[in-house]
Amino acid sequence: MHPAALVGVGGAIGSIARWAVAESMPTESGEIPWATIAVNLSGAFILGALMAASLQAEALLFLGTGLLGGFTTMSTFGVETIDLLKQDSTAAAAVYVCLNLLAPITAWLGWQMSEAFLA
């Protein structure tokens, strides 16, 4: 399959999955958007695990760049942060930013756990 098709199909699936998570975890005005935190942290963890798994390039394009690229979202994170600040929910915005900044740590944990499991 062409690399662009792998990324596109994976991205479509990941985006639909992200939408499903957001629908299952609605957020009220001024509240922390837990759905975005859930997709960003779980997506980072899974991507870390995939990177340690020594997958073929095609699998990484489909799963990593496509599916997890469509699943995780920095743009929504940015918009939701600004929205919280505009609603004077400064504490919620601060907690939201701090929790999303855990993504690199969760990616590292996924990588480490995958390496330990595959060893």
What Å distances lie between residue 117 and 105, 111, 112, CA to CA? 18, 10, 9
Rounded to two decimals, what is the model's pTM? 0.91
Cα first-last separation, the chain: 31
The model's confidence at residue 111, banded by pLDDT at 50, 70 and 90, is: very high
Give Cα 6 distance to the centre of its chain. 19
**Tens-digit pLDDT profile for residues 48-67:** 999 999 899 999 999 999 99
What Å distances lie between residue 86 and 7, 22, 92, CA to CA? 35, 21, 12
Percent of the chain with pLDDT over 90: 97
Residue 40 half-sphere exposure, CB side, CA atoms within 13 Å? Answer: 21
Average pLDDT in the chain: 96
Report the pLDDT value the prediction gives residue 119, as an integer from 0 to 100. Answer: 80
